[in-house]
């Protein structure tokens, strides 16, 4: 698969197998395919869709797990803007990927693989910063005591 991908990468100016694999774990495909780029795009979209779901949960935390509540309650305006942009960019890719499900076109798949890779690369820094903030919640928050006012 790696050799077949490298041929396609050269033909369509795609990122290297190593880069795509490090970000999207495409080696888990481990099978021959007549439509390799479609299979790779689908694996890449798993990460995009999972990331969209995670951002959605942070942005609309109605049923967010308790471990994220401290971050959600104290998210800054800058982080809200950052998450909104990330969500928008990933959502655009998700919509583009839906159109690829209708008809197979190797060139179209290659263009989308490149777009997904470029978008993910540009969003990694912001995503990493958001995740770091979630992992180290703001210690300046005031804990509310539960009490009954009757």
Task: With beta carbons less than 8 A apart as the criterion, state whether 23 and 94 touch.
Answer: no
Q: Phi, psi at residue 32, to the nearest 5°?
A: -75, 145
Comparing CA positions, the residue from 89, 111, 91 lying closest to residue 40 is 111
Comparing CA positions, the residue from 55, 11, 47 lying closest to residue 26 is 47
At residue 146, the pLDDT reads 54
At residue 137, the pLDDT reads 56
Comparing CA positions, the residue from 115, 136, 113, 131 lying closest to residue 54 is 131
Domain boundaries, given as residue ranges, for the chain: 2-135
At residue 23, the pLDDT reads 94
The pTM score is 0.82
Comparing CA positions, the residue from 101, 108, 104, 123 lying closest to residue 54 is 123
Per-residue pLDDT of the chain (150 residues; tens, 9 = 90+): 889 999 999 999 999 999 999 999 998 886 777 889 999 999 999 999 999 999 998 888 887 788 788 888 888 899 899 999 999 999 999 999 998 888 889 999 999 999 999 999 999 999 999 888 887 755 444 444 455 555
At residue 138, the pLDDT reads 58
At residue 136, the pLDDT reads 75
């Amino acid at each position: 698969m790696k050799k077949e991908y490298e041929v396609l990468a050269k033909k369509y100016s795609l990122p290297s197998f190593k880069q795509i694999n490090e970000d999207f774990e495409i080696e888990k495909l481990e099978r021959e395919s007549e439509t390799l780029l479609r299979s790779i795009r689908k694996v890449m979209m798993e990460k995009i869709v999972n990331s969209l779901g995670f951002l959605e949960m942070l942005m609309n935390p109605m049923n967010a797990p308790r471990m994220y509540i401290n971050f959600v309650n104290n998210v800054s305006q800058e982080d809200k803007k950052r998450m909104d942009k990330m969500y928008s960019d990933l959502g655009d890719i998700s919509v583009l990927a839906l159109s690829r499900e209708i008809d197979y076109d190797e060139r179209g798949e290659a263009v989308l693989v490149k777009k997904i890779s470029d978008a993910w690369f540009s969003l990694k820094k912001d995503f990493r910063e958001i995740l770091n903030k979630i992992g180290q919640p703001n210690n300046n928050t005031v804990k509310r005591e539960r009490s009954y006012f009757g």
